Amino acid sequence: LLFLWSITVSIFGIGGLLGSSGSRYLTVKYGKKKCLLCNNLLMIVAASIMGFSKIAQSFEMILIGRFMCGISAGLCVPLHHQYVGEISPKKLRGFANSTSSFFWSLGKAIGQISGQRELLGSQSLWPMLMAACGFPALVQLVTLPFFPESPPYLLMHKEDQEGCKKAIRQLWGEGHHQAEIDDIMKEKATMKNTKILSVLELVKEPAFRWQLYMIIILTATIQLCGINAV
């Protein structure tokens, strides 16, 4: 039982690693909006599997659902940051990106509170708690089609300048947005001369060694600061 509990908890992280590893390839090939929509479907399926696990009397369904949730979360973290940052006006981009961390923390807090035995953590209601992650995914699945694709993706990867201008007007309103388009073109020109490193190449690159050390130390200390205990 202890082994099964450990696997159930840790399999989310394994799924997250796989999801985040494939995010770059998927976003370049299919675009951020399509990836987010498909990711919502994945999360809804995962929530349904976990929600019906008690009726089916199958702990394997919880394992599968947790793994799929991990993949979905791993895809969502970089996708959400990129999409929100790219559809935001330049003066609000920093604020928009910072909201991601706020809502991640708020979601964790709501999950912890909802998991109390007086609420959804009871013997009869825990399947609803496991399936609750499907609700925000459903909200985004319904609302996201009304948003355009990321303007930088349309211009840099699809080379669709008219589509990019249309998306910018839809997001930021009518006006003269040539300066923003020029910025995207400059970024595209810069990326042509920049080699995209794989994870292994990044680890081996001496120029990024100290940055990697700092990220690893910060990430490790977050796990030790007591947030999980709280």
Q: Using the Cα atoms of residue 85, residue 88, residue 90 and residue 92 in order, give the sign of their dihedral.
A: negative
pLDDT, tens digit, 9 for 90 and up, residues 98-149: 888 788 888 888 888 999 999 998 888 999 999 999 999 999 999 999 988 8
pLDDT, tens digit, 9 for 90 and up, residues 60-104: 999 999 999 999 999 988 888 888 888 888 788 888 888 887 888
**Three-class DSSP category at 148:** coil
Q: For 134-167, b where at least 16 C-beta lie within 10 A, e where not — what string?
A: beebeebbeeeeeebbbbbbbbbbeebeebbbeb
Give the pTM.
Answer: 0.80
- CA dist 195 and 206 (Å) reads 15
Residues 6+ apart with CB under 8 A from 4: 59
pLDDT, tens digit, 9 for 90 and up, residues 175-229: 776 777 777 777 777 777 677 777 788 888 888 889 989 988 988 887 787 766 6
Q: Read off the amino acid at residue 37.
A: L
